Structure formats: structure tokens, C-alpha cells
Amino acid sequence: SILKLESLRAEVYVPKHFELRVPRGFVAKMSIGDSNDPLLRQVLPDQREQIKVTGYVADPLSENTQNPVKGMLHKYQSRVLLTVTGACAIHCRYCFRQHFDYSANMPTADAKENIINYISAHPEINEVILSGGDPLNVTNRRLFAWLDTLESLPQLTTIRLHTRLPLVIAARLDNALLTRLSQSRCHIVMVIHCNHANEIDALTAEHLQRARAAGITLLNQAVLLKGINDSVAVQMQLSQRLFSCGVLPYYLHVLDKVAGAAHFDNDERFAIELYWSLLAALPGYLVPKLVRELPNKPFKVPIDIYNDR
């Protein structure tokens, strides 16, 4: 009713798993009366999610086999990822972790000690990624406790937060959080997840600029989504809008082949042609790396843009 889209009621799909979740602040960025709004289509459950498509699976990155310690994933040589929470403020319909078993992977107090022992036993680890869910979905008290613990490990040089909260609830970047992050002895990198320039309104831009002023390195990773951001014009607007807020484009992911999300996928050849157009239209620092994440690969796999050229 907020968006005056009563005509969609007959099409509404109510999933039994991974239900609709979207804060009103994100809804406010959508166009009233537009059933194809690019923000709406990212979060509105679609009947096509029920179609089983060959090659689209529940665990496309084989993450369930890469957690040597409860609450931690170790896929990349020099860094580990901590699932500090299973909760997100928003449910994006293409999420590659929508089937992830968070109940079996949440770090308990005992697990926290095991995580620290694991990192200490692997001196090649110099960076920790706080993820989830969304790490900014936890309270400052819990987040600061993690920061205190990690900063006590001299081998760590960088702490990274992967978060969608600045686009969804911009006020989460409050003074207490930015002050604490600015005081860390580690480099703090915040990788936000923004797919469309419309996600960055004036309030969001203000909070991102404050985070940048606090000395936080801001990067963005997006997913190439059919019908949402799969045009040169939209990708250009996204990169330019991000840069105006102090955020550098980092990754443009082709879709992880997760069950229920096949209708968001684009042909790889299409993605490559779009990428060449971006290279021609934008300065290099505003062109994100076009990548795919594959199971059991210790890195993001660059898409071969020279294929057939």
C-alpha cells in the first residue's frame, strides 16, 4: 500500500523460507506505482524462485565445507571470514547465503576462543572479514568486543566489514561506531553492497561521507542483475554516485548460481560486452573488477573479457 502497487497482490509469492524483509527507509527510495522499480525487484519475492533450474543449487560456493572452526570460513590464504550473525536487515532475493545453515555456524563464546587460536596458529592470516548476515546488524557492544579481540592479535593488519546496512539503514553508521572504527590500530575497510544509484539518497550519502572522513576505506561490491542494473547507463550512474560519496567500485559479481535466483542471471557474453563498454566510458578507477566466485577457488575468479576477441 505504501507504493500503491495493489495490482501486484495477485502475483505476490509468500516464501516459507527466506521471507520478505525490507525496512521502510529502503522502501522510501522506491518509486511509487512502479512495479519494475530496481530496488523493489531486488527484495520482492518472485514466483520464479520456485522453479528448479539445473545448475542453481543451495550452496553454490561450497561454504558448508570450508569452515574449519564454527563461525569462521577460511577460503583465502591470508584472510578469514567470520559469520558474526545470521541476521540481515534486508533479504535480497539473489543472496548466495539464503540457504546457509547459520544455526550450525554461529560463533559461541567457546567458538570465539577457537577462532582466535586458529588465527594465531596460522601466521599467514593478516586480515579478518566480519560478515554474516550483516556484521552491522549486531549491537555496537558486541561489534566492539570483536574488534577488541581481533586487535589484540599482532599479526592482523586489516579488519574488513562486509555490510549492506549503510544503504538500508544509513543511521547505523552512528557517531559511536565511526569513532571506534577511526581509533582502531588496524586498517578498517568497509565493503558496502550497493547495486543501483537509487539506493544512495542524500541521507545515505551524508553517512558514507562521514565514514570516509573518519579514515575508513570504503569500497563497493555489486551483483550484475538482469532487469535491475544490467545496462551501461545504470552502471555508470552507480560508479559515479558511489565516488561522489567517497566509495570506490571494487567488484561487479556475475550472479552466484544459488537456487531460486536464476531469473536474475545474465549470459556471461552479455556481461563481457557490458564491461568493455564501461571501460570505454569510465576512468579505470571507477570500473569495478568483473568476477565470479567459484567453489574451492582461493580467490575471486576474473571473468575472461578477452574471450572471443
Check: CB of residue 170 under 8 Å from CB of residue 197. Answer: no
Which residue segment(s) compose the domain that 216 sits in? Answer: 52-302
- What residues contact residue 143 under an 8 Å CB cut-off, 6+ apart? 84, 130, 135, 136, 177
- 166 part of a folded domain: yes
- 18 part of a folded domain: no
* Distance, CA of 290 to CA of 282 (rounded, Å): 14
- 243 part of a folded domain: yes
Residue 76 is predicted with a pLDDT of 85
- 308 part of a folded domain: no
- What residues contact residue 203 under an 8 Å CB cut-off, 6+ apart? 170, 171
Q: pLDDT tens digits, residue range 185-201?
A: 999 999 999 999 999 99
- 274 part of a folded domain: yes
The residue among 148 and 66 whose pLDDT is bigger is: 148
Neighbour count for residue 82 (Cβ, 10 Å): 24
Helix (H) / strand (E) element for 81: namely: strand 79-83
- What residues contact residue 6 under an 8 Å CB cut-off, 6+ apart? none
* Percent of the chain at pLDDT exceeding 90: 67
Q: pLDDT tens digits, residue range 84-111?
A: 998 999 999 888 766 666 555 666 677 8
Q: Supply the pTM of this predicted model.
A: 0.92
- 201 part of a folded domain: yes
- 7 part of a folded domain: no
- 39 part of a folded domain: no
Maximum mean pLDDT: which of 74-78, 132-136, 175-179, 290-294: 175-179
Question: How many distinct structural domains can be found in the chain?
Answer: 1
Task: Let me know if 123 is exposed, middle or buried by CB neighbors in 10 A (0-12, 13-18, 19+).
Answer: exposed
Spatial CA neighbour of 105 closest among 135, 70, 152: 70
CATH code, domain carrying 272: 3.20.20.70
